[in-house]
Amino acid sequence: MRTEMDFARQMAEHCADQWQRMHTHPFVEEIGRGTLARDKYIFYLEQDYVYLIEFCRLLAVLTAKAPDFGTLVRFKDLLRLTVEFEMDLHKRTCAEFGVDQAELEKVEPAPYCLAYTSFLLGTAYGGSFTDGVAALLPCAWGYYEVGRRLAEAGLPKDKYYADWIGTYSSTEMKDLVDYLRGLVNRLAAGASDADRRRWMELFSRSVHFEVMFWEMAYNKLGKAV
């Protein structure tokens, strides 16, 4: 009989170097200090808005694949939270920077953004419900951990970066991450070793993409000229 385990934590430990890099990349450290160049932040917001549209499609697929009605309702609520809470931050901030809704909707995905969202959607459509959850977990969990650590260090004077930190360190984000980690742990409890290895690899791949998303934003990789 298997003992109780925190499989979500095991997945993070499986890719510990990249997981740490995700939380200490210069992009997020400079948000925390309020020193990130504004053009990099705008590029990030535009690309992350494109990412979130595809993330909503991912959540819709997983809602349809949910193993029970209670889980279906939670993923439906997560989809609503993403649209009404997280994407609103991007739209509101971009508008204040002079990028209106019409311009935002015309943004094309940069290569790393496209690769990441294609990986997530391919996993959701072609794999199991748990495959999709393992692949999406680094996004929610990683952002919450980044936001929490930055908030604990003290908010920067720049209101836009303080708003970003506040969004991702919020009680709503904590509750979401607690739910997703608990869900992964429950699903993994009775799973085969092969399934758990696959989920670890999917999780690791998403962590790598998260690091590259910071890298893309920090260096404006794929920015149209």
Using CA atoms, how far residue 217 sits from 36, 60, 126, 148, in Å, is 11, 27, 29, 21
CA–CA separation, 112 and 92 (whole Å): 24
Is there a catalytic annotation at residue 139?
yes
Decide: helix, strand or coil at residue 2.
coil
Is there a catalytic annotation at residue 210?
yes
CB atoms within 10 A of CB 213: 25
- For the chain, what is the total number of helices (H) and then of strands (E)? 12, 0
The vertex-72 CA angle with 68 and 74, nearest 5°, equals 120
Q: Are 21 and 210 in contact (CB under 8 A)?
A: no
DSSP codes of every residue in 163-194: HHHHHHTSHHHHHHHHHHHHHHHHHHHT--HH
Structure token pair of residue 141: 């969990």
Check 15, 113, 139, 145 and give the catalytic one: 139
Check 46, 86, 145, 210 and give the catalytic one: 210
- The residues that are catalytic are 139, 210
